[in-house]
Amino acid sequence: MLVVHNETSTGVTTRLADVRRAIDDARHPALLLVDAVSSLGSIDLRHDEWGLDVTLSGSQKGLMLPPGISFNALSPKALAVSKTASLPKAYWAWDEIVEMNKGGYWPSTPNTNLLYALSEALDMILERGLDTVFARHQRWAAGVRRAVRTWGLPIQCADPAVYSPVLTGVVTPVGVDADAIRKLIHDRFDLSLGTGLGKVRGRMFRIGHLGDCNDLTLMAALAGAEMGLKLSGVALAGSGVQAAMEFFASHPAHERLQAAA
Amino acid sequence: MLVVHNETSTGVTTRLADVRRAIDDARHPALLLVDAVSSLGSIDLRHDEWGLDVTLSGSQKGLMLPPGISFNALSPKALAVSKTASLPKAYWAWDEIVEMNKGGYWPSTPNTNLLYALSEALDMILERGLDTVFARHQRWAAGVRRAVRTWGLPIQCADPAVYSPVLTGVVTPVGVDADAIRKLIHDRFDLSLGTGLGKVRGRMFRIGHLGDCNDLTLMAALAGAEMGLKLSGVALAGSGVQAAMEFFASHPAHERLQAAA
Amino acid sequence: MLVVHNETSTGVTTRLADVRRAIDDARHPALLLVDAVSSLGSIDLRHDEWGLDVTLSGSQKGLMLPPGISFNALSPKALAVSKTASLPKAYWAWDEIVEMNKGGYWPSTPNTNLLYALSEALDMILERGLDTVFARHQRWAAGVRRAVRTWGLPIQCADPAVYSPVLTGVVTPVGVDADAIRKLIHDRFDLSLGTGLGKVRGRMFRIGHLGDCNDLTLMAALAGAEMGLKLSGVALAGSGVQAAMEFFASHPAHERLQAAA
Amino acid sequence: MLVVHNETSTGVTTRLADVRRAIDDARHPALLLVDAVSSLGSIDLRHDEWGLDVTLSGSQKGLMLPPGISFNALSPKALAVSKTASLPKAYWAWDEIVEMNKGGYWPSTPNTNLLYALSEALDMILERGLDTVFARHQRWAAGVRRAVRTWGLPIQCADPAVYSPVLTGVVTPVGVDADAIRKLIHDRFDLSLGTGLGKVRGRMFRIGHLGDCNDLTLMAALAGAEMGLKLSGVALAGSGVQAAMEFFASHPAHERLQAAA
């Protein structure tokens, strides 16, 4: 079973521990494979504790690096199964890489530059503390949702229990082409917002709040979105920018409180 | 006579051509020396046409580079006078550098890395066009002043005819320590605003809008300033952020209009 | 049929056009797949003219970049066959990438930083001229072989007609551990030479001369190798360093001759 | 009294402690000012212990950085004298910078990028150990002199007691234009050697061995010089390259010995 930890197209976080429990309750032998590309380093994920079999991620989201590396974490069960599995596999043919990694090498030439960058990024994250980093994203997400609600626009994710801490999907009114709004915002304000994917293409856009951002880069994104929505003729119920400023001003980041205490 | 083209501490632009005219009308032999550190590449300046004798500037403002290079433009009159002037001089002892520059060299080791960067920055500016770059700064300045007026706070520069296109000084209410506001904004929102210098220390802060910025980086700065002012107990007449968004949305940049036309 | 254009482990260049001809003469329907990882940009290779079906290469050799990108060139026949082939495939499942590349996109996030670097590297190569670049490598290879022969050591590639222009394999005397020599050279002179692979492990080392080098970086490598061989007790017939200097001094590079002419 | 610690134009090291002693013996009140641009970080220098009053240096030599920063170390006596000295001064007007440095600031905008780089370079040097770094340069210098002597060419510095550890001046035979040799070496081998300055212009060239080099980069430089000398028709008594290889191979660097022990 392959699940996406943070569903980029909708802004939904999957409850991985519950999925594991459901598989176990059903006494099903399926491996639990998790796509953590946009969640690793930004949303809590416990590969061992939650019984994940394969967690795959990459360098270019929460790890704050350019794209160019992806990697897998594997459970002993996944490793054992892969030895007997008869399905064709390429990226998930791990034997050779596991063997060579023991000596610090790879079967093919790795992206050495990004490995140095990854080491630095991990130092930055661990120095800050994972809990602090996760809390930062939760707070940013709450501020952005405050803005979207104030605009009077629906958040794509319908269930508050699984809101994504790293992106928020904004549903545009019926009859309005979300991609035309995105284009206007890009042309006028140099801001590139995520497009709706699949079924929701043209019906929404996405505001990301992961990795290397802060309150003011988010205020910039919200200002660009608010100006673009208005210029596109979308009637907004209120100023999301104003609401987000009120939220961020009245909710100091956890880490700042700690530093002050 | 040494004048500062763009007065950073107050946000005032000097009318250089008028200064030249006044010197000439008085038939005074004084050289006209111009500090263009924060104006070159962002505000129109015509060394030859305006009869400037020495224009000095550096890499780290409108030329969008790290600090590390400064340079002088010289009139024939300045060069001639320097040969006979008996005043002690160091940075303005030009003979040796003028002589060696003819062959592409310097009397001391130049900052070669920044010379490469300068070449690239000049290409970027000239590709965009100086008129367009100057107009960008005028528009950003107008948007920021709109915000400051909406807050109900005075702009440090009292004469609209000489508003600086590259920075705006914001005067804080009597009894409020502007530097305490700046510190709060820095601590809470990672935004570093310029301090009041000299007589206006503690009475104002400065918002820069020069070099490599765009509408949204300015919106971020205004949002940080507005949140910080409110958190510091300053009563604002209105939302400057809102006013700036209205201004930027209703006044497309000259260059965008051209690109669309 | 998969052939390696430049065989890194032995220093042999495959005569690709002859391989194509042999396949055609046998009226065999096999695709001709070419691994050009260490040859592209350093050794002449004509994908269309020589009837290659798949040419694969990467960023980190003749293109002078860090590792991190690989790519395939495809013949219409390869594309057609891939649509019906029932063999499992991953890296060679091209449909999706071909489709998205048409619009300038990729099905997954590409290594954007290296794409910018690749564009610059290609400009450098094309500005210099492919013929000049190929001739540089031939000349470097000739100089290095001169050194190896002067040492009295065999060149791994037995047939001069297929000497590699980008690396030379040096066979060490029987009873001498080539990897121990490599380690000594690395420890004493900070020079990392290629190891023998497979059957020739411990029996040879490799001197690379591809991509971003010049006569003097090769002289440095040869000096490190010569010192290391002597320190390891290998009796040398003569000084390869001396021989290489004589060769490079008496054979000016094609491009220099042109520049002087 | 201003003395140069490492005389770049001749390859002579000044015995600073002796100079200090001579001044003191003469009971002369002169300040001892030392130009340590090319020595700091490569040759032992003890500002306090040797009683230097002003030591000035820069980023671009032994500190292994691009050019762009210079700095002064000052004795209490130098600071006191500067307050009453009536000579014009600019770079040596220290009051303001000393005052602002106390709080971590500068009176003018510093080259912030190079300050970060300087911090890293100092970490590298101190991690290696100053004694080790000084010994490296002494060993490189000995190897290069071995080469020059083997060529049968005079070393510009006549007194072995004051040989520079960071550069060696090579005197060319009478009637041979050293700058023409330098140009040939540059054109043919992409190697830029230092020119003779002042009285020795055209009579010598300089080989640098300071900062970020190793045995093999020096072998490359010696190979370029040897080929260039021969191509210029200079009759050499022997191969300096051969002699340097023998020296470097038979004299392991102190640090390597330690690492192996």
ipTM of the complex: 0.93
**Is it the case that residue B257 has pLDDT exceeding 90?**
no
Which pTM value belongs to this model? Answer: 0.92
Q: Which among D202, D191, D140, D135 is positioned nearest to D168, based on CA atoms? A: D140
- 3-state SS assignment for residue C73: strand
Residue-wise pLDDT for A108-128, tens only, equals 899 999 999 999 999 999 999
Residues whose CB falls within 8 Å of the CB of residue C101, separated by 6 or more in sequence, listed in order: none
Chain B contact present for A240, CB below 8 A: no
- Predicted confidence at residue C132, as pLDDT, reads 94
CB contact under 8 A, A230 and B215: no
Length of chain B equals 261
Copy the structure tokens of residue C169: 């394999």
Nearest to B187 among A188, A224, A256 (CB): A256
Chain A contact present for B184, CB below 8 A: no
Q: Name the average pLDDT for chain A.
A: 94
Chain C contact present for A58, CB below 8 A: yes
Compute CA distances D224 → C247, C249, D180, D210, whole Å. 13, 9, 14, 18
Nearest CA in chain A to B249: A227
DSSP H/E element including C14: none
Gap between the terminal Cα atoms of chain A? 45
What is chain C's Cα-based Rg? Answer: 20
- 3-state SS assignment for residue B171: strand
**Is it the case that residue D179 has pLDDT exceeding 90?**
yes
Nearest CA in chain C to A69: C68
Residue type, D231: L
Of the residues B150, B187, B189, B212, the best mutation for testing chain A's interface (the one with the most A CB atoms within 10 Å of its CB) is B189
Chain D closest CA to B8's CA: distance in Å?
Answer: 14
Chain C contact present for A103, CB below 8 A: no
Q: Name the average pLDDT for chain B.
A: 94
B90 in Cβ contact with D90 (< 8 Å) = yes
Residue-wise pLDDT for D190-241, tens only, equals 999 999 988 999 999 999 999 899 999 999 999 999 999 999 999 999 999 9
Mean pLDDT of all residues in A177-185: 98
- Predicted confidence at residue B259, as pLDDT, reads 43
Mean pLDDT of all residues in A37-46: 96
Residue written as token pair 């490190």: C224
Burial B110-143 (b: 16+ CB within 10 A, else e): bbebbeebbeebeeebeeeeeeebbbbbbbbbbb
Chain A contact present for C68, CB below 8 A: yes
Nearest to C68 among A68, A89, A91 (CB): A68
pLDDT tier, C255 (very low <50, low <70, confident <90, very high otherwise): low
Mean pLDDT of all residues in B54-63: 96
Neighbours of chain D (3+ CB pairs under 8 A): B, C
Chain D closest CA to C215's CA: distance in Å?
Answer: 6
- Predicted confidence at residue C9, as pLDDT, reads 87
**Is it the case that residue A259 has pLDDT exceeding 70?**
no
Residue-wise pLDDT for C101-148, tens only, equals 999 999 989 999 999 999 999 999 999 999 999 999 999 999 999 999
**Is it the case that residue B113 has pLDDT exceeding 70?**
yes
**Is it the case that residue C82 has pLDDT exceeding 60?**
yes
Of the residues B8, B114, B116, B118, the best mutation for testing chain D's interface (the one with the most D CB atoms within 10 Å of its CB) is B114
Chains B and A touch, using 3 or more CB pairs below 8 Å: yes
Question: Is the sign of the CA dihedral D231, D233, D239, D241 positive or negative?
Answer: negative
Neighbours of chain B (3+ CB pairs under 8 A): A, D
- Predicted confidence at residue A72, as pLDDT, reads 96
For residues B138 and B135, give the distance between their C-alpha atoms in angstroms, rounded to a whole number.
5
Q: Which residues in D176-243 belong to E strands, given as ranges?
A: 194-195, 204-208
A221 in Cβ contact with A168 (< 8 Å) = no
- Predicted confidence at residue B73, as pLDDT, reads 97
- Predicted confidence at residue C31, as pLDDT, reads 96
What pairing do the DSSP bridges indicate for beta strands A6-7 and D6-7? unpaired
Mean pLDDT of all residues in C10-16: 95
Q: Which residues in C52-118 belong to E strands, given as ranges?
A: 54-58, 70-74
**Is it the case that residue B261 has pLDDT exceeding 50?**
no
Nearest to C248 among D214, D227, D239 (CB): D227
Neighbours of chain C (3+ CB pairs under 8 A): A, D
For residues A261 and D73, the model is more confident at: D73
Residues whose CB falls within 8 Å of the CB of residue A112, separated by 6 or more in sequence, listed in order: C66, C67
Nearest CA in chain D to C225: D216
Residue-wise pLDDT for C162-178, tens only, equals 999 999 999 999 999 99
Copy the structure tokens of residue C151: 């040492």
Nearest to A68 among C58, C88, C111 (CB): C111
- Predicted confidence at residue D87, as pLDDT, reads 86
Q: Name the average pLDDT for chain C.
A: 94
For residues B65 and B68, give the distance between their C-alpha atoms in angstroms, rounded to a whole number.
9
Neighboring chain C residues of A88 at a CB cutoff of 8 Å = 88-90
Nearest to B90 among D58, D67, D91 (CB): D91
- Predicted confidence at residue A88, as pLDDT, reads 86
Chain B contact present for D112, CB below 8 A: yes
Compute CA distances C116 → A59, A114, B119, B125, whole Å. 18, 16, 19, 21
CB contact under 8 A, A187 and B214: no
Length of chain C equals 261
Chain A closest CA to C260's CA: distance in Å?
Answer: 39
pLDDT tier, A89 (very low <50, low <70, confident <90, very high otherwise): confident
Residue-wise pLDDT for C136-153, tens only, equals 999 999 999 999 999 999
Residue-wise pLDDT for C26-57, tens only, equals 999 999 999 999 999 999 999 999 999 999 99
- Predicted confidence at residue B256, as pLDDT, reads 53
- Select, from the ranges A46-50, A91-95, C6-10, D79-83, the one with the highest average predicted confidence (pLDDT): A46-50
Would you list the DSSP string of chain A? Answer: -EEESEETTTTEE--HHHHHHHHHHTT-----EEE-TTTTTTS---TTTTT-SEEEEESSSTT---S--EEEEE-HHHHHHHHH--S--STT--HHHHHHHTTT--SS---HHHHHHHHHHHHHHHHH-HHHHHHHHHHHHHHHHHHHHHHTPPBS---GGGB-SSEEEEEPPTT--HHHHHHHHHHHH---PEEP-GGGTTTEEEEE--SS--HHHHHHHHHHHHHHHHHTTPPPSS-HHHHHHHHHHHS--HHHHHHH-
Compute CA distances A253 → A241, A247, D9, whole Å. 18, 11, 59
Q: Which among B38, B32, B51 is positioned nearest to B164, based on CA atoms? A: B38
pLDDT tier, C211 (very low <50, low <70, confident <90, very high otherwise): confident
**Is it the case that residue A207 has pLDDT exceeding 70?**
yes
CB contact under 8 A, C217 and D221: no
Mean pLDDT of all residues in A41-55: 97
- Predicted confidence at residue B92, as pLDDT, reads 86
Neighboring chain A residues of C88 at a CB cutoff of 8 Å = 88-90
Residue-wise pLDDT for B14-25, tens only, equals 999 999 999 999
- Predicted confidence at residue D255, as pLDDT, reads 55
Chain C closest CA to D228's CA: distance in Å?
Answer: 8
What pairing do the DSSP bridges indicate for beta strands B2-4 and B167-171? unpaired
For residues C177 and B108, the model is more confident at: C177
Residue written as token pair 């965008």: B256
- Predicted confidence at residue A91, as pLDDT, reads 85
Chain C contact present for A67, CB below 8 A: yes
Residue written as token pair 């797949």: C33
Compute CA distances C48 → B1, C24, C53, C76, C162, whole Å. 71, 15, 8, 10, 22
**Quick one: what percent of chain C has pLDDT higher than 90?**
89
Mean pLDDT of all residues in D139-159: 97
pLDDT tier, C72 (very low <50, low <70, confident <90, very high otherwise): very high
**Quick one: what percent of chain C has pLDDT higher than 70?**
97
**Is it the case that residue A260 has pLDDT exceeding 50?**
no
For residues D63 and C81, give the distance between their C-alpha atoms in angstroms, rounded to a whole number.
59
Of the residues C207, C209, C218, C219, the best mutation for testing chain D's interface (the one with the most D CB atoms within 10 Å of its CB) is C219
Neighboring chain B residues of A242 at a CB cutoff of 8 Å = 239, 241-242
Copy the structure tokens of residue C197: 């692979």
pLDDT tier, A253 (very low <50, low <70, confident <90, very high otherwise): confident
pLDDT tier, A261 (very low <50, low <70, confident <90, very high otherwise): very low
Residues whose CB falls within 8 Å of the CB of residue A69, separated by 6 or more in sequence, listed in order: A58, A59, A110, A111, A114, A115, A118
pLDDT tier, B180 (very low <50, low <70, confident <90, very high otherwise): very high
Neighboring chain A residues of B214 at a CB cutoff of 8 Å = 189-190
Mean pLDDT of all residues in B145-169: 97
CB contact under 8 A, B214 and A249: no
**Is it the case that residue A251 has pLDDT exceeding 60?**
yes
